[in-house]
């Protein structure tokens, strides 16, 4: 799929929520990744989980900073000489978002760093670690479905060096138990093109949200 088709498909996904808007808020999320799947040209790894922390921090009326750290572990991705090999994959992201006027659409750009390491390899084998930097450009829409229940969708393009480049899409819902505390669940998908593996990564995330103001 070309990048133009990717963004066109994303806009179609975003369109049903355009009539609703969620104000920018400052919040901090702690979350668990109960499921993460990596599908590559070499095979599929569907036994990943992890954890993360992310947040949004408003600095003017229509703009905010974003930050995220996530660490996933994929167990038994290969068996070498009877030993199971695991993969650790970490992402660090930092960006800035902008909401034009009272529109339900927003735009966001971010820096992305990814590190990957194979664990428990036999002593006579070595493998190159993943250590790549890149960026992402995204558009999204969020809206209230009920007074305390919000939904959101986001689509964009990411380029993370030799790790790959292509589509990233995220969708989720959040529920506020009080003005200060809520929960959220979401799913993020990346479909990347790389010289060798062409990784597709899908992961579910669920966690607690701490709101610090609107």
What is the domain-level CATH number for residue 168?
A: 2.40.128
pLDDT at 195: 81
Quickly tell me which residue has 């790549």 as its tokens. Answer: 132
pLDDT at 19: 46
CA-nearest of 40, 33, 23 to 68 is 33
CA-nearest of 98, 27, 29, 94 to 61 is 98
3-state secondary structure of 85: strand
3-state secondary structure of 127: coil
Residues 6+ apart with CB under 8 A from 52: 30, 31, 33, 68, 69, 70, 71, 205, 207
pLDDT at 125: 64
pLDDT at 16: 54
Number of domains making up the chain: 1
Residue 118: DSSP 8-state: E
Query: Could you list the mean pLDDT of each consecutive 10-residue stretch along the chain, which spans 214 residues?
Result: 48 49 83 93 82 95 95 81 81 95 86 90 68 96 88 95 95 94 97 88 97 76
Residue 119's beta-bridge partner residues? 86
Structural domain boundaries enclosing 171 = 3-90+99-211
Q: How far apart are CA 88 and CA 73, in angstroms?
A: 5
Note the residue count of the chain: 214
């Amino acid at each position: 799929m070309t990048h133009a088709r990717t963004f066109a498909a994303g806009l179609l996904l975003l369109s049903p929520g355009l009539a609703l808007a969620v104000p920018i808020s400052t919040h901090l999320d702690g979350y668990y990744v109960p499921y993460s799947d990596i599908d590559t040209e070499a095979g599929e790894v569907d036994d990943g989980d992890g954890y993360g922390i992310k947040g949004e921090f408003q600095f003017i009326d229509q703009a905010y900073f974003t930050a995220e750290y996530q660490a996933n572990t994929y167990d038994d991705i290969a068996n070498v000489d009877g030993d199971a090999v695991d993969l650790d994959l970490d992402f660090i992201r930092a960006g800035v978002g902008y909401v034009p006027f009272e529109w339900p659409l927003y735009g966001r750009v971010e820096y992305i760093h990814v590190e990957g390491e194979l664990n428990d390899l036999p002593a006579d084998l070595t493998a190159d670690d993943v250590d790549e930097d890149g960026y992402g450009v995204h558009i999204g829409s969020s809206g209230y479905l009920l007074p305390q229940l919000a939904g959101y969708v986001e689509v964009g393009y990411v380029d993370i060096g030799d790790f790959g480049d292509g589509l990233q899409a995220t969708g989720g819902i959040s529920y506020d138990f009080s003005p200060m505390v809520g929960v959220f669940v979401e799913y993020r998908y990346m479909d990347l093109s790389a010289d060798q593996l062409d990784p597709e990564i899908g992961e579910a995330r669920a966690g607690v949200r701490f709101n610090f103001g609107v």
